[in-house]
Structure 1
Amino acid sequence: MTTGAWREWTAEDASAWLTAPTADDDKYRRGVLGVITGSPDFPGAAVLGVEAAHRTGVGMVRFTGPRAVRQAVLAARPETVAVPGRVQAWLLGSGMDADRRSFVLAGDLQHALASGEPIVLDAGGLDLVGSHSGPTVITPHARELARLLADRDIDGSVEQIEDDPAGSAARAAHELQVAVLLKGAVTHVCDPDGTRLTVTESTHWLASAGTGDVLGGIIGALAATHHERLAADATAITHLAATAAFIHSEAARRASDAWDGGPVTAMDVAGAVPRVIGGLLGR
């Protein structure tokens, strides 16, 4: 297994992976993110991920899902497109139960995985790792990673992962052959090629429901916007994931600062993303 030192991802690092639209850009050049997330039990996961993707500056979000979830997404973000068509990156799994997939949903997920486009696998889509065909990053927390490793007969209990998140993330990247973003107070982002990056939370108010869905939307949007770069260099997805984690952390800090350091909701975090990106672009 390739090893290397871990390095904290900075504002300077993140800013290098962001681009403002130019006069020649249109929605397709800015990227189209396909989103298959949420469920009738957890429609909010889809709403939050789509909201975050729009706030990150992607050209278009194309949503696929059950009618009730689709209606919730369109009510929150009417600019979302809810018919099939061109997609340049995919966000899959947030707010889903892997044990309760319908035949139609399973087919939609497999179609996305076989597309060769960049993939972000979160929560209820983590079990699909290995069936992807494009650059892929998985975004588990410790319990999700432990479950995923156990399903593959790979050692890694929740306690082991919490005691050694750096080693656990690196081992998962090696064993699963994908980029791994292991969420925590210090988020570890790594890949099988030896890239090792950390992002330290700027506020612990991020430890609340829905914030992971926001992070997934940010990563997906960045992947879609950088689809041409990813087609030439699949390892770029690791740096994009770290950039998303940095934006996510800073957005949470800004949202909390607006309440004098008080608690924030996931939607507050999504709402603060444009200011963070604007500041990074200004660098």
Structure 2
Amino acid sequence: MTQVWSMHDAARALTRPTAADDKYSRGVLGIRTGSDEYPGAAVLGVEAAWRTGLGMVRYLGPSRPTALVLARRPETVAAEGRVQAWVIGSGTDPSARSVAESDVLRGLLAEDEPVVVDAGALDLAAGATAPRILTPHVREHARLRSALGLAESEDPVAATRETAARTGAVVLLKGATTVIAAPDGWTTTVASGTPWLATAGTGDVLAGVIGALVAGAAASDWPDASALAALAASGAWLHGHAAGLASAAVGGGPITALDVAEALPRAVAEVLAVQ
């Protein structure tokens, strides 16, 4: 039976900072997302990463999303430097990606730092060697499986396991019930906090949450595939819980992706309280 991830499971992914910490020991996340066509993805991912709790976010992207990111979150560092994890691909279109950008992304995917691979970078992830968390939705997963030569499947758990085994990466299949699988077959599921979460931009928020957790973990202990899978599941749980809190704050009504990001500090605080 596949495990269902819980608040207590998610609590193991969070660390409360101490007086001995600094911005580097708390984790530095590099984010290379967004485009001139979809700049909001960069803003949402950066916002979510900061609000999940880490020491620094470095954003590297085109000029338009960079300006929007800095206007919203001026503490973001828009310059290259050391990082402990990456988020790539959100708000990008592989058909519009330049050769130079493809080379940069392939370089990141060949390094040692863990990479959360979303949306427009999924086409580069299969043959990579970096520790990876792939975060496709159903249609992106179908395209990825087709490119890998895998048959269509009506069983999302079995399909996610198969994709993880074939790519050597953790795979997080987004949906009303999110499925997370590690290459060794370990699998868990996370229930959505609310159906209102099915709205534009929430996947960009999820990528930022997971990236923050991975960067924080990598700052103290380099995560292996099983640890990355647990961090991905914990990120999905926090994301869903934040969505539930955001909806509850408006009487159970509709929410936007930015609402979810803004509810993350409370979600993190509630999870830390059960440790």
* 1:51-76: CA deviation from partner (whole Å, max 9, x where unpaired): 00000111101011111111111111
Question: Contact conserved, 2:177 with 2:192, CA < 8 A, in 1?
Answer: yes
| In 2: Cα distance, 1:17 partner to 1:70 partner | 29
Q: For the structure 1 residues 232 and 123, does the alpha-carbon distance in structure 2 shift closer, same or farther, using more than 3 Å as the test? A: closer
Corresponding residue for residue 185 of structure 2: 194
AA in 2 matched with 1:91: V
> 1:133 Cα shift?
2.9
Corresponding residue for residue 267 of structure 2: 276
Question: Contact conserved, 1:230 with 1:237, CA < 8 A, in 2?
Answer: no
Q: Does 1:51 align with 2:32?
A: no
AA in 2 matched with 1:239: A
AA in 2 matched with 1:190: A
Q: Does 1:62 align with 2:55?
A: no
Corresponding residue for residue 80 of structure 2: 84
* 1:146-165: CA deviation from partner (whole Å, max 9, x where unpaired): 01111222212xxx3xx311
AA in 1 matched with 2:169: V
Question: Superposition pairs for residues 25-174 of structure 1, below 5 Å?
Answer: 25-156=21-152, 160=153, 163-174=154-165
Question: Contact conserved, 1:38 with 1:69, CA < 8 A, in 2?
Answer: yes
> 1:123 Cα shift?
0.4
| In 2: Cα distance, 1:170 partner to 1:179 partner | 9
Give the secondary-structure state (helix, strand or coil) at the position aligned to 2:77: coil
How high is the TM-score relative to the length of structure 2?
Answer: 0.96
AA in 2 matched with 1:187: T
Instruction: Give aligned pairs, total.
Output: 274
Question: Contact conserved, 2:217 with 2:223, CA < 8 A, in 1?
Answer: no
Question: Contact conserved, 1:38 with 1:93, CA < 8 A, in 2?
Answer: yes
Question: Contact conserved, 1:189 with 1:198, CA < 8 A, in 2?
Answer: yes
Match for residue 257 of structure 1 among 248, 257, 261? 248
Question: Contact conserved, 1:119 with 1:132, CA < 8 A, in 2?
Answer: no
> 1:232 Cα shift?
5.4
Please, which runs of 5 or more residues in structure 2 have no aligned partner?
A: none
AA in 1 matched with 2:228: I
**What is the percentage of aligned positions where both structures have the same residue?**
51
Match for residue 14 of structure 1 among 10, 14, 20? 10
Deviates more, 1:170-179 or 1:27-36: 170-179
> 1:180 Cα shift?
0.6
Question: Contact conserved, 1:64 with 1:82, CA < 8 A, in 2?
Answer: yes
AA in 2 matched with 1:264: I
> 1:105 Cα shift?
1.8
Corresponding residue for residue 168 of structure 2: 177
Please, which runs of 5 or more residues in structure 1 have no aligned partner?
A: none
Question: Contact conserved, 1:53 with 1:217, CA < 8 A, in 2?
Answer: yes
Match for residue 237 of structure 2 among 230, 243, 246? 246
How high is the TM-score relative to the length of structure 1?
Answer: 0.94
| In 1: Cα distance, 2:62 partner to 2:272 partner | 37
Give the secondary-structure state (helix, strand or coil) at the position aligned to 2:222: helix
| In 2: Cα distance, 1:132 partner to 1:35 partner | 18
> 1:104 Cα shift?
3.2
> 1:228 Cα shift?
4.5
Q: For the structure 1 residues 135 and 232, does the alpha-carbon distance in structure 2 shift closer, same or farther, using more than 3 Å as the test? A: same
- Output the aligned Cα RMSD: 1.2
* 1:54-112: CA deviation from partner (whole Å, max 9, x where unpaired): 00111101011111111111111111000110111000000000111123322331232
Corresponding residue for residue 223 of structure 1: 214
Question: Contact conserved, 1:117 with 1:133, CA < 8 A, in 2?
Answer: no
Q: Does 1:211 align with 2:202?
A: yes
